Structure 1
Amino acid sequence: MTSPSPPPSERDFTAPPGLRTRGTVVVVAGRGETPDSYARFGARLAADAYRVRVLPAPDLDPADLPAFVASLSAAIDGIADRVGPLVLVGADTGAVAVGAAVAALQPDGVVLAGLPGYDTHRVLGWDEELDARTHCPVHRGVLTGDTAVRPGGLATPVPAGLLDAAYGSTAEPPHLLLVGDADPLADRAALGRLAKALPSVRLSVVRGAHHDVLNDLSHRSVAAHVVTFLEALRGTPPLAPVVETETGTW
């Protein structure tokens, strides 16, 4: 069975022909981005036999969180060829919305990438915004060439109520938190508190990465880290390391 064609605002990626799909990943974009911003990430996960759907950035009104939950549930239900495990990936405000809504959605796993901190919005010119987002020349070209990308998106304040819900989560599903150590919008103290509060979590810091941690210079290593998380969710027992180093000198 093939899934229905998604609206133009969504992007779909499927496993190569002949490979059995290993799970379903739904990605929610962040401020100023479009689903096309995650074409490289989606294609890379799909190449590892995961079914991927990328959704646009959510509305930032806290009162619309129930509507976001409903629309995300509908997007998941609309993937007719989905298989478990189901993993939600959010970036920037997509991460805020997913983090705030995860208890209601109950996926098998969650990846929150580039969670913005409190009061870290700023008014930036486009060159400064690109520098805050990514130093990957390919992704900078993707953002600049996409006429649907909104310059100044990172200057849009994130409502404190949504940040409170995301950073105050104690949801059960396993979480992978990703942050760049050069992310000017990150709140490492708040991330540390979240990592201590979640019952099943790994906080991974990406050396040299900026706010768009899924799309910076280290995007290959980050995508591989996400795939490692996806594969661990499928394991028996879940989350047991698939590969362990026995000896080494580095």
Structure 2
Amino acid sequence: MTATVVTDLPHSWDEPEGVAPRGTLILLTGRGETAATYARFGRRISADAYKVRVAEVDLGDLAAARTAVSELVADEALPAPKVLVGSDTGATLAALLVGELPVDAAVIAGLALPGASGDVDAAWEDELEVRSACPTYRGTISADTDFARGALAGTLPWDEVSLSVPGVPLLVVHGREDRVTPVGDALKPWVGAGTVEQHVVEGGRHDILNDVTHRSVAATVVLFLERLKLGADLPVIVRQVGR
């Protein structure tokens, strides 16, 4: 595997010059991850005119993480709708904060739960297998000297997590082959909730925003955002005839 040298990448990505921004995504990182982990995702989403801001979450100081996210939510220079996006423990934190902060929606990708029957070895090669099948992404995080290897095998900062149905739209995306959090456990908190849209990615692994299906997942996120722009009831924009 050829590693790509990671330089000092930004924590933010903006819409193309001359294009009006359509909203803001506030992305919460998961275990081991840095802003560099989401450079590809940030570039892709910002190309569709949504601003992306990354809050690197220190699980040892969740109060500081909440403050950082709250400040981004309160930043009047960032346009609405404001949407929390989280991966792994960032997804868990986003799912907890969406009911507390004045945001318009949240995207929960690769939820991490206490007590989930995770199957992660501390060895880096196994962690890569668990995280993603995408060679480009594997190269990116392997070359990132700030990426905390082995973090995915660590314990969570919560003994238990109680997730409720928020009063705003929620998009849940989870990989069918996720070895960290079984797909059934990830979807269970919101089964039957009308305001929660759930998608399972066939063959998908844990880092679902950065798996081989990252284009399809990003497209799913963008379509959710475009529907959110029309209203909290998420009106359908494109409908397949006869289905």
User: What displacement does 1:207 show?
Assistant: 1.2
Pair 1:203-2:201 in alignment? no
Pair 1:150-2:148 in alignment? yes
Alignment correspondent of 1:129: 127
CA distance in 1, matches of 2:167, 2:58: 23
* Mapped contact 1:87–1:111 kept (Cα < 8 A): yes
CA distance in 2, matches of 1:43, 1:216: 16
Pair 1:29-2:24 in alignment? no
Superposition map of 1:55-66 within 5 A = 55-60=55-60, 65-66=62-63
Question: What amino acid is the match of 2:71?
Answer: A
Alignment correspondent of 1:5: none
User: What displacement does 1:109 show?
Assistant: 0.7
How far does the alpha carbon of each residue in 1:61-114 deviate from its partner, in whole angstroms, 9 at most, with x for none?
A: xxx544432221113334x53111110000001011111122111310100100
Under a length normalisation based on structure 1, what TM-score does the superposition of the two structures give? 0.86
Alignment correspondent of 2:65: 68
What is the percent sequence identity of the aligned residues? 36
Under a length normalisation based on structure 2, what TM-score does the superposition of the two structures give? 0.89
Match of 2:46, SS state, is helix
How far does the alpha carbon of each residue in 1:110-131 deviate from its partner, in whole angstroms, 9 at most, with x for none?
A: 0010002324264420000000
Which one of 99, 104, 115 corresponds to residue 108 of structure 1?
104
Pair 1:98-2:94 in alignment? yes
Unaligned ranges ≥5, structure 1: 1-7
Alignment CA distance shift 1:108-1:190 (3 Å): same
Question: What amino acid is the match of 2:200?
Answer: V
Match of 1:114, SS state, is strand
Alignment correspondent of 2:175: 180
Moved over 6 A (4+): none
* Mapped contact 1:65–1:101 kept (Cα < 8 A): no
* Mapped contact 1:95–1:114 kept (Cα < 8 A): yes
CA distance in 2, matches of 1:237, 1:49: 20
Which structure has more helix as a fraction of its residues? 1
CA distance in 2, matches of 1:92, 1:115: 5
| Matched length | 234
